[in-house]
Amino acid sequence: MSKVLGILNFEPSYVHVRGLEDFRPISATSILGRYRIIDFMLSNFTNSNVESIKVFIKNRPRSTVEHISHTSYNLNSKRGKIQLLHGDVDYKNNELFNVDVQAFHTYMDFIDQENASYVVVAPSHFIFKQDFNEIVEEHIKSKNDITILCHSTTNADRRYLMGDLLKLDDNKRVTEMYKNRGKNKKAVVSLETYVMSALTFKQLVEEAVMTSSLYSFSDIVADCVRPMKIGTYQHRGFVACISTLNAYYEANMEIKNEKEMLKLINDDWPIYTMTNDSCPTLYKPGAKVTGSIVANGCQIEGTVINSVIGRNVVVKEGAVIKDSVILPDTLVDKNVKLECAVVDRLSIITHIKELKGSKEEPIYIKRGDRI
């Protein structure tokens, strides 16, 4: 089989996950208690037997570097390679110029070295399960220049905002690619996953760099709708686009459901992550837990309803956590009541006894805060 190179792109400029983004790239954000968002896309790659993967990081690389270097993702440790390349080397002073094609361009040598026939560019702020081989096979058969993974949604008025929407002709080819300004509910949304030959990839990057220093990869693909043949591949399963805090919260809440979770993560499609060697979770006498997912290493004495509890979280007696996402290493002290909250890592909530957000606008407690 022809060699496929995986390129895990960094988040585009429309992604703003309030609070969480101040501390790490979105890809390294904890999700579902024990994973990082990036684990889903990297496991898609390795479960599809893609052995060479370039991971691009926009800025604040520490957490991604640490996480990836301690996770095997089931790659052969000699043949397989995940290389981390980060974008802000030359653009420290102006985030505006820190766009994906500039990073691709800077590191084109490393991409060339792989001698891959095909390139799969995948996003780091999406969660979905996808065998990339299927798209590559379909792409080769179709003789298209580019194949875009897409998804039909009825939520385009409130999700995927500023992402790319696609207009398709009868042959499912793209006739237009435009930004989602939330006008319609029904739309075909691009999952920002592109399959093409390595040559086409290189050409597109060159062209983008020459056109504008603000151009992103999706901009240049949008420009190519006319001169090139751009096909689509339909994704029909669960999709989460983590572009806002609300989307992050909703993704946790939706995947938390047992059936949904087992569709996304199972023995046939494992999601690899870094082990922390935490012991199992202790539910002490008096604990009440329902409708929740809980990571290992927690000590729970209080009440947890309909929530996601991260690794090594302590919930003291009388505390009530409802409809919330608690990131790892957090302490929720006695009699504290949390509702619709996203509590970032390493924070301690002890003095404020009640915090309540709404499902539309969850309250955010910042990393390491002591309140």
Partner 1 sequence: MKKNNMVAMILAGGRGSRLFDLTKKVAKPAVHFGGKYRIIDFALSNCANSHISTVGVLVQYESILLSSYSARSSTWGLDSKGGGVYVLSPREKDETGLGLYAGTADAIYQNLDFLDQEEADYVLVLSGDHIYKMDYDKMLKCHQESGAEATIAVIEVPMKEASRFGIMNTDENDRIVEFEEKPKQPKSNLASMGVYIFSYKNLKKYLKEDAKNPDSQHDFGKNLIPAYLNDGLKLQAYRFKGYWKDVGTISSLWEANMDLLEDNSGLDLFDPDWKIYTDDASATPQCIGENAKINNAFITQGAIVNGEVSRSVIFSGAQVEEGAKVEDSVIMNNAVIGKGAKLVRCLVADDVRVPDGMKLGKKNSEDILLVSKASIAKAGEDHE
Smaller CB separation from partner 1, 1 or 279: 279
Q: Which is nearer to partner 1, 195 or 326 (CB)?
A: 326
Q: Any idea what DSSP says for residue 362?
A: -
325 touches partner 1 by CB under 8 A: no
In angstroms, give the least distance from the CB of 280 to partner 1.
4
Q: Which two tokens stand for residue 155?
A: 């939520």
Work out whether 96 is an interface residue with partner 1 (CB under 8 A).
no
How far, in Å, CA of 196 to CA of 220, rounded?
14
Contacts with partner 1, 248-267, as mask; x by CB under 8 A: ----------x--xx--x--
69 SS3 class = helix
- Of 46 and 232, nearer to partner 1 (C-beta) is 46
38 touches partner 1 by CB under 8 A: no
Smallest gap, in angstroms, from Cβ of residue 294 to partner 1?
5
Near partner 1 by CB under 8 A: residue from 89, 185, 270, 361: 270
Q: Please report whether residue 238 would count as binding partner 1 according to CB under 8 A.
A: no
The burial class, CB within 10 Å (0-12 / 13-18 / 19+), for 170 is exposed
Q: Does 214 bind partner 1 (CB under 8 A)?
A: no
How close are the terminal C-alpha atoms of the chain, in Å? 56
- Interacting stretch for partner 1, rule CB under 8 A, among 30-38, 85-93, 98-106, 130-138? 30-38
Backbone angles phi, psi at 204, to 5 degrees: -65, -40
Burial of 137 (0-12, 13-18, 19+ CB in 10 A): middle
**C-beta of 97 vs 283, nearer to partner 1:** 283
Which residues, at least 6 apart from 68, have a Cβ–Cβ distance to it below 8 Å? Answer: 38, 42, 55, 82, 84
Nearest residue (CB) to partner 1, 140 versus 305: 305
Q: Which of 26, 55, 99, 289 binds partner 1 (CB under 8 A)?
A: 289
303 binds partner 1 (CB under 8 A): no
Q: Is 268 in the site for partner 1 (CB under 8 A)?
A: no
Which of 41, 42, 295, 336 contacts partner 1 by CB under 8 A? 295
Give the span between the Cα atoms of 162 and 100, in whole angstroms.
Answer: 16
Stretches 20-28, 104-112, 182-190, 286-294: which one binds partner 1 (CB under 8 A)? 286-294
CB 45 within 8 A of CB 116: no
Per CB under 8 A, the list member of 34, 58, 129, 345 interacting with partner 1 is 34
Q: Is residue 188 at the binding interface for partner 1, with CB under 8 A as the rule?
A: no
Q: How far is CA 271 from CA 40, 44, 88, 164, in A?
A: 6, 8, 29, 27
Query: Which phi and psi (to 5°) does residue 144 adopt?
Result: -75, 160
- Rounded to an integer, what distance in angstroms lies between the CA atom of residue 191 and that of residue 118? 18
* Number of residues that make up the chain: 371
Q: How far apart are CA 247 and CA 160, in angstroms?
A: 9
Q: Is residue 328 within the footprint of partner 1 (CB under 8 A)?
A: no
* Binding residues vs partner 1 (CB under 8 A): 32-34, 258, 261-262, 265, 270-273, 275, 277-297, 299, 306, 308
